[in-house]
A and B are shown apart, each in its own frame.
Chain A
Amino acid sequence: METAEIIQGAGGAIGASWLMIALPLLGAAILLLGGRRTNGWGHLLGVAMSLGAFVVAVLSFVQMLGLDDSRRRQAVELFDFIPGMVKMGLLIDPLSISFALLITGVGSLIHIYSIGYMSHDPDRRRFFAYLNLFVAAMLLLVLADNYVGLYIGWEGVGLASYLLIGFWQHKPSAATAAKKAFIVNRVGDFGLAIGIFTIWTTFGSVAYGPVFEVAGEADQGVLTAIGLLLLLGACGKSAQLPLQSWLLDAMEGPTPVSALIHAATMVTAGVYLVVRSGAIFEAASTAQFVVTIVGVATLLAGAIIGCAKDDIKKALAGSTMSQIGYMMLAAGLGPVGYAFAIAHLITHGFFKANMFLGAGSVMHAMNDEVDMRKYGGLFSVMKVTAITFGIGYLAIIGFPLLSGYFTKDGIIESAMHVNPVLGWLAVAGAGITGFYMSRVMFMTFFGKRRWAPDAHPHESPAVMTIPLVILSIGSVFLGAYLILGNRLMLFLAPAVGRPADLPGFHPFSAPGLTTLALVAVGAAIAWAKYGRAEVPQVAPRGSFLTTFARRDLYGDALNESLFMRPGQWLTRIAVFFDNRAVDGLVNGLAAGIGGTSGRMRRLQNGFVRSYALSILFGAAMVVGALLYVGTL
């Protein structure tokens, strides 16, 4: 992989890029420490800080566009964090700036949307504080120039995610989901941490530049180990198999959170990690292959789960898993796939945030109802939401010429090149996507109205619909812009390298046409079952496969029987053992020295006296010993 050198001492907007992190962090601090005093204007400050970060990102991006390819990787030194090990700094390059634009851009839109969505919540200020905290941590994750900085951001977004999933923490289900997300993520972080330790002991550095420069020279086994450990971290954060179980529960959080954190940005951090660590993965083909396997397995699993969910947010969450699976697959393909992974990540950030916010708009209108079996026929009452959601829907199923069409097709094509089995599985996944997303679309906006008697749906206020419109514009055009002429691939090349032969765009290839055909079949089945036919208000029992999908492919059941219940037993045994055995043994020993355990108990009475006695005893020993020594 050929990448550009990292240039020290950046100036201009890039030199001030630390403001991107500092502004939202400051916002979070003011809102959390200021308490109720900031209730009145807290949400505005939150939006302003996020927009401020966006402005810095845009200025840095513009400055970068004015530079030659060879000068597009700039280091910003910040401070000595752990002397001798970690110098904290930022790396502003095409890869990190792409993320920064997505995070601050989509992030700001979601901040604005939340003004309306959370307007009735008494804790709106706290919500914005956490959103700002998230943006700061996420930017540190992608902008840091070393693995420890990434790790700090990595766990920081985990904290923000925990706080936001559990935002309505008086609900036990929300509190439990939040805790679960954090703990499952920590399993991934365990892998990431050991990966970082290994990088340190192998290279004597944790900074990207120096490590990647010599990465290829390290022992193959060590590199594979590092790759797999980093992948474990990526699986936790990006809800990939086998650490996927937390994402569906995470939908307990307010919907803007699901849009920002659990669809557009945080969950894509694993993809970032793999692409960023390209130098390591490219030198460890086994690890790379495992990445693609994880990606394909998850893209199918997520799609299957998405087919069976009646909760609109959970259906979208299954879809998120699946789409990130596509990105993982692409990231595991090496330089051929990186640009497609990132392109799909960006367009997915738009169309999925678009759909989540649309779902939020629907819930807002339907008294927070999430069951799609209680929706239906909403098109006529909330046209803006329905049309923007529809655009996101067409984008994700890969409707020709919309965003998802270009980016997903790119992933499928490059997977075909590397390994046709993976490629065809990805095609199958696209077909399933066509079915389950159409199902969501039809159940919500078309067919008969199955509303609850007290539901009086209405279109959401402009502060909510304007972000929807902007996001849907991105969902239409962004894919073509990024993919045609390999625009994004060439832009990213200084940071992640590029394949020797640039891929062309083949709209009429066999896989491409098959994909379109399968998507059409999927959509048609969905129309027959959920558009034209009557949708029962209560879910039918369904086949074995439906149950399997409804129960998240038994992921939770597996975790419970493999980890949770044995863990509970272990805990109980350990507590019992500690109270009886260890304590008993040592007490017995102590008592044995002093006499019997009965005497030990008697010591509790008149303890002052016995204490004085022990002191006297001790003092006598000291004096005696010293006297004895003195005579030697």
Chain B
Amino acid sequence: MVDMSVQIGRVSLANPVMPGSGTFGEGLDDVMDLNRLGAIVAKTITPEPREGSPLPRVVEYKDAFLGAIGIPNKGPEHFVREIASFYRQFSPPFVASISAPTVEAFGKIAADVSKPGIDILEINISCPNLEKDGKAFAMDPDATEKAIRRITECTDLPVWAKLSPNAGDAPTVAQAAEAGGAEALTVANAMVGMAIDAEAMRPRLGNITGGMTGPATKPVILFMAYQVARSVSIPVIGCGGISTAEDAIEYMLAGASAIQAGTVNFIHPAAMLDIIDGMEAYCRRKGIERVSDLTGALDDDEGMKLEQLAKSA
């Protein structure tokens, strides 16, 4: 019997597997038993309702998804009344994902959604910061720390900061989020990209730029998770191209305490159950009693350099 539970700050999860924000919906209740998940993560909401980006919203690649959805949502009041109350019937902790254009607005929406039925706040800081010329909070350690600090002042719920892979210096932003009071870090959001139709001489996305997700992003974000886990003392939740149990285990070995599966839910809607079962089978096969023992268990001694090899020969 493998102990699949993991501890993320104050919160204990029955297993380390949860959906990435924006890749989950109530429709999955018709597909699988949602009580088997480690946590349920909602789609991001913003202070004001949004209709989302112009069409088209997606470009597909061989193993990636470039999407510009634009965070369509009906605002915090609708979220608390309709969405959070729907998920109260399920046992896993329910994570709200929030975003806002200013530090103050982040604090306000955090307070607005700190209601019964919502257990954790994940902070989407990849959005433009209107106080800094639209530069994303997550690109900027100072803005990240201010936003997270303001949020933690406005809520008693655990706060997870979701970092951006577009930040030049991920460990510094991660440390800023930790200093601001984050209890965990989700590593990471989508990578910004664009696509062009050469024949039409037009962008392929209505929004011009979008976020790239899917298996192709895994090497980049796996490294980011590894790097961030070594530079903070709070748990890291790996999120980037995870489609299989093997992908999830790689993130755990790199230092993640839990994982989020995202784009794979669009293609194999019950993939998270396969990931949970596969992680458990791996632990059993390896004689690992607790899945949490995988966290940071990577043996990362570098290979022997040629000079050393020459000496030892």
A in complex with B: no
Residues of chain B at the chain A interface (Cβ within 8 Å) = none
